Amino acid sequence: MVLLNYIKFPIIVLISFILVGCGDERLPDSKNNEKIVRIGTADNNGRLSGLLGLAKQLGYLEEELQKVDYQYSISGFAGAGPAVNEGLATNAIDIAVYADFPGIIATSRGVPLKLIMSEDSSINANIAVRKDSNIHSLADLKGKKVALPRGTYMQRYFTLFIEQQGYKLSDFNIIQMTNDAESALLNGAIDAMVWTEQSTARLENKSPTITTLYSTRTEPELSGISVIVGREAFINQNENVIKAMNIALLKASKYAQNNPDQAEILLAKESDTNVEIIKKIHDFHSIDSFSKRYSVNITDNDIRKLKQTQQFLIDNKIITKPIDIKNWVYTKK
């Protein structure tokens, strides 16, 4: 049985109090011998846009978890990565799927987490502006209002990208925003937003007035990693759940490689978006990119990128205590 499936049950969206949504999870009756793994995502609607979402749509996640007498629930957090971290810290969820940036922050600050696997080794971010804004370069954007969610890989991308071009954060009017950024850009309250590739692509599709100014597509080293982390206490007591999820993602990865068109259709359904947007953000048709992005198990290149992310966090005084990245990766006991 799957809890909170889009068809059978509504996704729980946690209502924010301060940093994190906190809500009543109303779950249908389950079998006495079935337990629940609670999965949190930074999408406020609880949508899963990567391999985990594909595994859900294909039934692999349900199938593999049922083998170990588990179900799953999905909770969406409105405050991006920092809100998901609060959910992990307060034991509101067991597993989180989000970018590497907040995962490292939480672990450095004492939340006992383990990195389980990689959902996508190259998640992209865009800088979007209005077409009628006459903003065509960073020089044009200087001094103007730029919205970005702090504590996310979008912050890292924007900071390092402008530094490469000879600018610094103080050259721009940086505004902390999460889900309000899209409407703020549409109505002209801000001049640009730095957000996920999927969100900006969705906004461009929704409104012809929005366009992408810059993207990590041209700066791949500044892209993030979509990771799946878990509370260490939960992992230690439920290694069979981690194994089941790993199998489900590996099966989803293989399916996407062999059936890219159908995988895109299923992810579009899961993400509540159109197929063209999914085609734009995923590289299911590229043999070379696929093997690099969707390996699931943590690779040496993932470790290298994670170390770079941690160094950025230290250099910008976002964290003061480094973690052992290799030791952070979960290994079966």
Q: Quick check: is 22 in a domain?
A: no
> Is residue 253 domain-shared with residue 316, that is, in the same domain?
yes
232: Cβ–Cβ under 8 A, 6 or more apart, which residues?
Answer: 112, 113, 114
Domain limits for position 115? 35-123+224-328
> Is residue 140 domain-shared with residue 206, that is, in the same domain?
yes
Last residue of a domain, one of 197, 222, 247: 222
Q: Quick check: is 162 in a domain?
A: yes
What type of residue sits at position 68?
A: V
Q: Quick check: is 139 in a domain?
A: yes
> Is residue 281 domain-shared with residue 192, that is, in the same domain?
no
Last residue of a domain, one of 184, 204, 222: 222
> Is residue 259 domain-shared with residue 298, that is, in the same domain?
yes
Q: Quick check: is 28 in a domain?
A: no
Predicted pLDDT of residue 95 = 97
- CATH number for the domain including 139? 3.40.190.10
Predicted pLDDT of residue 28 = 38
Predicted pLDDT of residue 57 = 96
Last residue of a domain, one of 222, 253, 285: 222
Predicted pLDDT of residue 21 = 42
> Is residue 230 domain-shared with residue 116, that is, in the same domain?
yes
> Is residue 101 domain-shared with residue 171, that is, in the same domain?
no
Q: Quick check: is 18 in a domain?
A: no
The ranges of the chain with pLDDT < 50 are 1-30
> Is residue 69 domain-shared with residue 218, that is, in the same domain?
no
Number of domains in the chain: 2
Q: Quick check: is 24 in a domain?
A: no
> Is residue 306 domain-shared with residue 283, that is, in the same domain?
yes
> Is residue 314 domain-shared with residue 228, that is, in the same domain?
yes
> Is residue 173 domain-shared with residue 237, that is, in the same domain?
no
Q: Edge-to-edge, what's the strand order for the sheet holding 210-215?
A: 173-176, 145-148, 192-196, 125-130, 210-215
Q: Quick check: is 25 in a domain?
A: no
**How many beta carbons lie within 10 A of that of residue 164, not counting itself?**
10
> Is residue 231 domain-shared with residue 324, that is, in the same domain?
yes
Q: Quick check: is 97 in a domain?
A: yes
> Is residue 184 domain-shared with residue 305, that is, in the same domain?
no
